[in-house]
Each structure stands twice: as structure tokens, then as C-alpha cells.
Amino acid sequence: MAHYAFLDSENVVAQVITGRDEGENNWSGEQWEVHYAETSGRPCKRTSYNTRGGQHTLGGVQFRKNYAGIGYTYDAARDAFIPPQPGPDWTLDEDACLWVAPPEE
């Protein structure tokens, strides 16, 4: 089973669904990501439930850096889902696409 994230106009994840596996073709032969986007009228990106911080938790191939959650942003340049920034002083780890807390004083 695969998971898909629907994006709003700002590329923020508005909904995540469980959908068809990538290898299954639908009736027209198009990819499920494209099919879900066309039927919903919203951009849709596949996301990996087992990916966090650019690592696949089961030893597989990571996909889009992080599993998408509502409020995450899809960054097309990085092809990654990035969680909301927890605070103004937090910095983005470019490799993991996760936020790093500021150093304690």
C-alpha cells in the first residue's frame, strides 16, 4: 500500500491518504500520483511511510526525505517534505530536511 499527500496552493500538505501501490496501473495506465491529482483537482505527491530524515527505517530506499504530514511543506527543488518550523530560531538540516533546535545557552 502506498500513501499520497494532497497539497494546497502553497504546497502545504492538506490531506494524506492510503492509496494504490505504485506498481498497480489504473484503468488508463497513468501513475496513481497523476490519477489522484486529476480526480481531486489538487497537486498530489506520493510519500513513504517508512522515510524519516532522509533514511528509510527498514533499510530500503528513502523517498522525499520525510513521510508527509498535514502542515508539512513539499519543496519541489529538494523533492522533499519538510515539517513545520517549530520556532523562529530553529534551522533546517539540508540533508535530512528536519529542523534542528538552537543551541542551549
Q: Distances in Å between the alpha carbon of 98 and those of 8, 43, 47, 101?
A: 21, 23, 16, 10
pLDDT digits (tens, 9 = 90+) for 31-90: 888 889 999 999 999 999 999 999 999 988 888 999 999 999 999 999 999 999 999 999
Query: What is residue 81's predicted lDDT score, i.e. its pLDDT?
Result: 98
pTM over 0.75: yes
Strand partners, 95: none
**Nine-digit cell at 91?**
534551522
Question: For residues 24 and 32, is the Cβ–Cβ distance under 8 A?
Answer: yes
Q: What does the domain layout of the chain look like in residue ranges?
A: 2-100
What is residue 27's DSSP assignment?
A: T
Contact 64, 98 (CB under 8 A): no
